[in-house]
A and B are shown apart, each in its own frame.
Chain A
């Protein structure tokens, strides 16, 4: 048990018998939830963790074979729940974690009571009639750039990109946020994430689930959210009037509200 909790740097806060498990996306760690988690602390036990390679996880536990697919990460999510003896969990995942949560729910039916997907995508590359948001050339280029000093490069461009779209105030707020990743592991995580295709798994999900979609998201455009909504049983879709891929950081109040409405509706 201790190994799993140490491996994924699991932190537990909040009061309440119901459990919310927060799973961060690619390029982040559990700090990504800092703007929303406290809103649920009064009524829920909150479990946060870092995927191996992110935040303060135990990077010595990284296994290239295990994490060559999203199923490896789903196994970790299940192991965290088992280590804490959790059941009827409300899973809140961002980006790639949404499909990780979906896969975990298929591997362990009954473990989750609800799945909340924040900016999910079952497949990032457009294929046939499916609009994923990217073509293969763009994803290949992303993976090629990640062979370079991509974190420093991205940092050097951050003020330009952020100020163009979100304004100075938001740029300052987000600069106070902080995530940590291992660049070598992040490269494989990026490959696994952006080359994944979990569209076939969506119809098998039997847990009530919510898609929180941003109106303007270059990583997971509205067409992707719509695809998930149409192909996943028991899915509710909420479109936030927000730009970007991380509304839990850029628009936390709207994100909290969307989650609360879903949880309240489901409890009726």
Chain B
């Protein structure tokens, strides 16, 4: 067995559904320090765990200290998400943006 396979096996054993049950509340609390509770925070939590379970970048997730890695990932994802939304807001200077729903519906149907 090469080292890569060994890491994958180790990872699968340590990242189970129990990982989510055990750490999600703590990670979510960390997210709420940067993001208001609601759909944005929920999506960040989901992405942090999905990335942890599926990421091929072994160096970004230290399997032996999953909580630290999850907290770091949640911090980075929260900051980037808020920054992205701030950029979007800046582009329109806080103007009230409406979704052109009639257009969107037609647009979707056309494709």
Residues on A lying within 8 angstroms of B by beta carbon are: 25-28, 31-32, 53, 55, 59-60, 62, 95, 134, 137-138, 141-142, 144-146, 148-158, 160-162, 166, 171, 174-185, 218-219, 244-246, 249-250
Q: With CB as the reference atom, state the residue of chain A lying closest to B85.
A: A154
Complex alpha-carbon distance, A151 and B40, angstroms:
11
**Given A156-B36, A185-B107, do A145 and B96 touch, yes or no (CB 8 Å)?**
no
Pairwise interchain contact A184-B90, C-beta atoms closer than 8 A: no
Query: Within the complex, which residue of A144, A156, A171 is in contact with B38, where a contact is CB–CB below 8 Å?
Result: A156
Pairwise interchain contact B84-A138, C-beta atoms closer than 8 A: yes
Residues on B lying within 8 angstroms of A by beta carbon are: 36, 38-40, 43, 80-100, 103-104, 106-108, 110
Rounded to whole Å, the gap between the CB of A83 and the closest CB of chain B is 22
Pairwise interchain contact A175-B104, C-beta atoms closer than 8 A: no
Query: Within the complex, which residue of B81, B82, B84, B92 is in contact with A28, where a contact is CB–CB below 8 Å?
Result: B92
Pairwise interchain contact A150-B88, C-beta atoms closer than 8 A: yes
Query: Within the complex, which residue of A95, A138, A161, A184 is in contact with B94, where a contact is CB–CB below 8 Å?
Result: A161
Rounded to whole Å, the gap between the CB of A23 and the closest CB of chain B is 14
Pairwise interchain contact A138-B97, C-beta atoms closer than 8 A: no
Pairwise interchain contact A180-B100, C-beta atoms closer than 8 A: yes
Complex alpha-carbon distance, A28 and B91, angstroms:
8
Rounded to whole Å, the gap between the CB of B8 and the closest CB of chain A is 25
**Given A184-B108, A245-B91, do A145 and B100 touch, yes or no (CB 8 Å)?**
no
Query: Within the complex, which residue of B91, B100, B106 is in contact with A95, where a contact is CB–CB below 8 Å?
Result: B91
Number of A-B contacts (CB under 8 A): 139
Pairwise interchain contact A60-B93, C-beta atoms closer than 8 A: no
Complex alpha-carbon distance, A246 and B94, angstroms:
9
A-B contact pairs, 25 of them (CB 8 A): A25-B91, A27-B92, A28-B91, A28-B95, A59-B107, A138-B84, A141-B81, A141-B83, A142-B87, A150-B88, A153-B85, A155-B96, A155-B97, A156-B38, A157-B36, A161-B86, A166-B94, A174-B95, A174-B96, A177-B94, A177-B95, A178-B95, A181-B100, A183-B104, A245-B90
Main secondary structure on A side of the interface with B: helix
Query: Within the complex, which residue of B81, B87, B99, B106 is in contact with A219, where a contact is CB–CB below 8 Å?
Result: B87
Pairwise interchain contact B98-A178, C-beta atoms closer than 8 A: yes
Complex alpha-carbon distance, A95 and B93, angstroms:
12
| A contact residues around B87 at 8 Å (CB) | 134, 138, 142, 218-219
Q: With CB as the reference atom, state the residue of chain B lying closest to A166.
A: B94
| B contact residues around A175 at 8 Å (CB) | 94, 96
Q: With CB as the reference atom, state the residue of chain A lying closest to B80.
A: A141
Rounded to whole Å, the gap between the CB of B33 and the closest CB of chain A is 14
Query: Within the complex, which residue of B39, B80, B86, B91 is in contact with A27, where a contact is CB–CB below 8 Å?
Result: B91
| A contact residues around B110 at 8 Å (CB) | 60
Of residues B38, B43, B88, B94, which shows the largest number of chain A Cβ atoms within 10 Å of its Cβ? B94
Complex alpha-carbon distance, A134 and B91, angstroms:
14
Pairwise interchain contact A138-B80, C-beta atoms closer than 8 A: yes
| A contact residues around B96 at 8 Å (CB) | 155, 174-179
**Given A27-B88, A182-B103, A184-B107, do A153 and B95 touch, yes or no (CB 8 Å)?**
no
Complex alpha-carbon distance, A158 and B86, angstroms:
9
Pairwise interchain contact A156-B89, C-beta atoms closer than 8 A: no
